[in-house]
Chains A and B, each alone.
Chain A
Amino acid sequence: MTLAELQQYFARAATSGSGPLADLDRVFLGTSRLPASDRMAIYNRGYYLRLLDALGSVFCQTQRALGSPDFERLGLAYLAQHPSEHPAVERVGRSFSEFLRSAAAPPVVDLAALEWARLSALVAANPKSVATIETIDPQRFPEAQLRFVPSLQCLELDPRALALFAEGNPSIVDVGRPRCGVAVWRARHAVEHRSLEAEEWQALNLAIAGNKLSEVCSAFDSGSGDADVRRAFQVLSGWFARNWLELVVYEQTRSASK
């Protein structure tokens, strides 16, 4: 067998989810004390335990919500279908929430999505800079565009997922309540998340899509004049206060202001 064939064979034996391969002795050496099948079983066990442990460390609240036996069963099924694609082991859970769609209740699926977003925020690169609201040139406010820090993640969730995350009782949340926009970010070292009102969620999505502040602020237009302006200012100030902004840019001149 060539090197490639031997590695392919080893990988198949080490990741097999259905017991040892039949012809292990043809490829590996064993002893009466420790046959080749027992030796490969060490790698096989290690492969799944290590990845399952990584899933559990990222999706701790999902594990609590599902219960350990179901989490292990679903985790192993997931790992068999979704091997790791990243050199850092905890990233193996990239598709776990999607995988759960066919196997778990919607709030638990979204709880997993929230935990994945929190991991993504935790390990995101540091921003090159942090912009303050003073960096917006008042004269050019309408044309300003916002660039967000790498850790900011946005997702729509079943509100019961937030209750589950807080280890609360999801039944306290009305089942009919619509999905809500949630922002996840890293504030220096700690990861935080918060649900957003519909108008702020719309504005945030407009801003992330690269729209100018004049268009972003249209999300707050309820026909209430000054009250809308105050609300827009309050929300934008909150984004800066939470260090969500890396940069304010102006498309016309391509100049950036920190």
Chain B
Amino acid sequence: MHRLADPQQALSEPARALPGAAAQVGFGLRVPHYDTILKHGLRADFAEAISENFMGRGGRAFDVLERVRADAPIALHGVSLSIGGVDPLSKTYLSELGELARRISAFSVSDHLCFGTFGGHYAHDLWPLPYTEEALAHVVSRVQQVQERLGRRLLLENVSSYVAYRASLLTEWEFLSELVTRADAGLLLDLNNIFVSAANHGFSAEEYLRALPRDRVQQIHLAGHTDTGSYLFDDHGSAVSAAVWSLYQRSLELFGAVPTIIEWDERLPELTELEAEAAHARTLSHAWLAEQREGKP
């Protein structure tokens, strides 16, 4: 573990990795783990909290978040911003998100490249966008609005998807790369999502990774998926697969040791299992660093 003395300095923007250090590894805070974390402390470098579970709220969840925050930095990760949606951005949402980020001195704020609102309603899902020039200009403008409102850089995560639009003229990685460059945003790269979408749509995960602007990748997500036989389903309900660990090793080569988060939502195991996954990420990161020091390519 590489916890720094001051959680606020530990992972501050724009630094995405500490030179010569292994990746900082954390995991998502989930309610069934609260008691264990409160009892034993957060045995990770940082924690990721789902923004909507804490925005504008009080009670136990927020108390737990504040107690975790006393020991470790917090990354905020949203699911309902709908950055690609055509509904207007919610001022209330942005105000509550900004307030939460300030209250807990979140070291990063992220959400997904998708849309999740329709006609004033929330889908509570991460619906894929068509990769067109119109969509690109639309999302760039909205990311800029959000960043201006929050006064900080937004990190955008690639989503897993099961369907693609005939109207798309760009690949997902071309769209994402253009977006973060034009909007001056960061990338939260979900390697499991890349693996799932690559299988479902028949593209190369390696080509995807190689095409991304290296300096924009600021965080990595790792999670499990299910093979249904006819498609891969991103359910966050199992350990990270061997194939996704391989992508993680590749990402270390391409992007260096960036903060890495283990996500697990369905069939949630004991916290020790998440800690073991985090330890494995750290081991891979250390091994990669050792190779760098020895001058291996």
Contact = CB atoms under 8 A, between A and B. Distances in A.
Bound together: yes
B167 A85 contact: no
Contact of B52 (A83, A85, A88, A188): A88
Interface in A21-43: 26-31, 33-34, 36, 38-40, 42-43
A6 B123 CA distance: 15
Nearest to B90: A87
Interface in B5-64: 52-53, 55-60, 62-63
A46 B125 contact: yes
A119 to B, nearest CB: 11
Contacts of A26: 166
A188 B121 CA distance: 32
Interface in A92-121: 92
A175 interface: no
A5 to B, nearest CB: 9
A11 interface: yes
Interface in A1-25: 1-4, 6-8, 10-11, 14-15
Interface stretch (B112-120, B216-224, B276-284): B112-120
B130 A34 contact: no
A6 B118 contact: no
A51 interface: yes
Interface string B71-101: 0000000001000011000100100000000
Interface residues of A, number: 49
B93 A87 contact: yes
A1 B125 CA distance: 22
B177 interface: no
B124 A42 contact: no
A257 to B, nearest CB: 23
Contacts of B127: 7, 10-11, 14, 43
A47 B276 CA distance: 32
A34 B200 contact: yes
B123 A11 contact: yes
B125 to A, nearest CB: 6
Nearest to B128: A10
A123 interface: yes
A125 interface: yes
- A-B pairs with the 9 shortest C-beta distances? A126-B58, A11-B118, A87-B80, A83-B121, A189-B60, A39-B163, A84-B122, A89-B124, A4-B86
Interface of B: 52-53, 55-60, 62-63, 80, 85-86, 90, 93, 115, 118-125, 127, 129-130, 132, 134-135, 138, 162-167, 200, 202, 230-231, 233
Given A84-B122, A125-B56, 17 more contacts: A3-B130, A6-B167, A7-B118, A11-B123, A26-B166, A28-B166, A29-B165, A31-B202, A34-B231, A39-B163, A43-B162, A51-B124, A84-B124, A124-B59, A126-B62, A186-B59, A189-B63
